[in-house]
Amino acid sequence: MFSSVRIAGLAFVMLTAFTVGTGGTAAQESVNDAQFRTDVDFPNSLAFYLTVTAPVTIDHAEVRYTVDQISCSSGVATGIAEFSPTSQLDISWEWGLRETGGIPVGARIKYQWVLSGGDRTFETPETTIVFEDPRFDWRTIESEHIHLQWYAGSESFAQDLLEVANSGIEQLRASTGVLPSKPVVVRIFDDAQAMRDGIIFGQDWAGGISYPTYGLVGIGVNSSNLDWGRRAMVHEMTHVVVGEAAFSCGAGVPGWLTEGLAMYNEGPLEAPMRNTLNGAITDNSAFAIRSLAANFPADHDGAILSYSQSQSVIDYLVSTFGPSQMNELLTSFAATGTIDRSLTNVYGFDSDGLDQRWRTRVGLPVRAPQTGPMVVPLPTVPPLGLPPSPTPTPEIEPVEAEAAPIYRTSTPLPTHGPPTSSGGGGCNRSEGGASGLDASVAGILALFATLSMRRRKRK
């Protein structure tokens, strides 16, 4: 069952002319009853349709499209329609989203049809559509930096979350000087399952997800898990804003920096994480900051310590040097793609120097610098999530899929056929209220459970 994607409030657009290019010149030529539209089989595919009577026989037709997101590429993807040469066209091309990884709800897609026959080329005007979730009647409430969309619950419920998001934006500005360049779009689903049903290859424990390159956040929250939802809102939104500010082609923001800022922006550490950090300080078992640049440890205690220590490192940098230099750090990383160079440019010390200074601040003895090259992190983030029960069981099998990236440079490259990847992902967050743990700890526990089960499955 197909349902129409909204195109500026219309199901389709009627045209009376194409732009015609001949010998390097352009002119307008009328065609009869041209119309184009898109339909979505949510969330599996997006189909493009064109019906037109052309003045010549058309033997080639393609859809050229781009996904609106931060990217290293300005290329345009191409989907080629299959048909026999004719001047009476009623054609389509389907973008199979399951084959390319999917796109998030709310993603904006620009496209146009390009036809050719003989030595003549015809183009439709470029049109922008939104990959909409047609299952719900969405309502919108907005502020300067947040566009919040929801379909269940009262307006006061939505207003509560909007105010939390606004406070998170202000906290982020206070700590980093960073603001989003355009409003972050937040989709509020009534429950986590509704959110997951719109994600191809999503994890079955995810309660929230961020797509930094798209400027999008999705959260499954209602009145029963509102406290969790407030923290998840701030955490995921922080990933989006920081992801934009620090985006660097081919380089992932170090884990201690991106997760540390998200944790710092949520507020003070919850008791379990604070106790874990204090214990590591007491017995001198804290990680070297250089080791927290890539993926965090998969074991339970190591994961909790990684997140809590990262928050503490950010607290040290912000409280000691101020938000302006944190802003410079993010800007420098976007320009250089290397954390050591960025730290040195801004603070005058590298990862080892930061490690020594942080250790001194919390009362730990200075250690000898690490030797060997620094591990350059992949542009990924370990998923945060909560399994159905606090204690994972062998029956709970995670979806075997590629790790969700923070920074996908997946605006399609020029190609004939669908792009190799148009999905996007970011920080998956656990569903709230399932175990009584705070959101951060619950996410870390599920990370441990998921990675452990994957290792068992491979054996």
Quote the pLDDT of residue 32: 57
φ, ψ (nearest 5 deg) of residue 211 = -125, 85
Taking the CA atoms of 349, 354, 355 and 361 in sequence, report the sign of the dihedral they define: positive
CATH code, 3-130: 2.60.40
Q: Which phi-psi region, left, alpha or beta, contains residue 11 (left: φ > 0; alpha: ψ -120 to 50)?
A: alpha
Quote the pLDDT of residue 434: 35
Quote the pLDDT of residue 73: 75
Kindly give the confidence (pLDDT) of every residue in the chain, 459 residues in length, as a single tens digit, with 9 standing for 90 and above. Answer: 334 443 333 334 344 445 544 444 444 454 556 798 999 999 999 999 999 999 999 999 999 999 998 888 777 899 999 999 999 999 999 999 998 888 999 999 999 999 999 889 998 889 999 999 999 999 999 999 999 999 999 999 999 999 999 999 999 999 999 999 999 999 999 999 999 999 987 777 788 899 999 999 999 999 999 999 999 999 999 999 999 999 998 788 899 999 999 999 999 998 999 999 999 999 999 999 999 998 888 788 898 999 999 999 999 999 999 999 999 999 999 999 999 999 999 999 999 999 999 999 999 998 865 554 444 443 333 333 332 222 222 222 222 222 332 222 222 322 223 332 333 344 555 555 433 334 444 444 444 444 443 444 444
Quote the pLDDT of residue 296: 85
Two structure tokens written together for 76: 């345009």
CA distance 59 to 86: 7
User: Of 198, 270, 194, which is closest to residue 231 (Cα–Cα)?
Assistant: 270
Kind and range of the H or E element at 185?
A: strand 184-189
Distances (CA, A) of 190 to 49, 140, 160, 218, 438: 33, 15, 15, 11, 20
Quote the pLDDT of residue 5: 40
Q: Hey, where are the domains in the chain? A: 3-130, 139-458
Quote the pLDDT of residue 42: 93
Q: Cβ contacts of residue 244 below 8 Å, gap of 6+?
A: 70, 180, 181, 212, 213, 215
First-residue to last-residue Cα distance in the chain = 41
CA distance 198 to 205: 14
User: Is the CATH number 1.10.390 carried by domain 139-458?
Assistant: yes
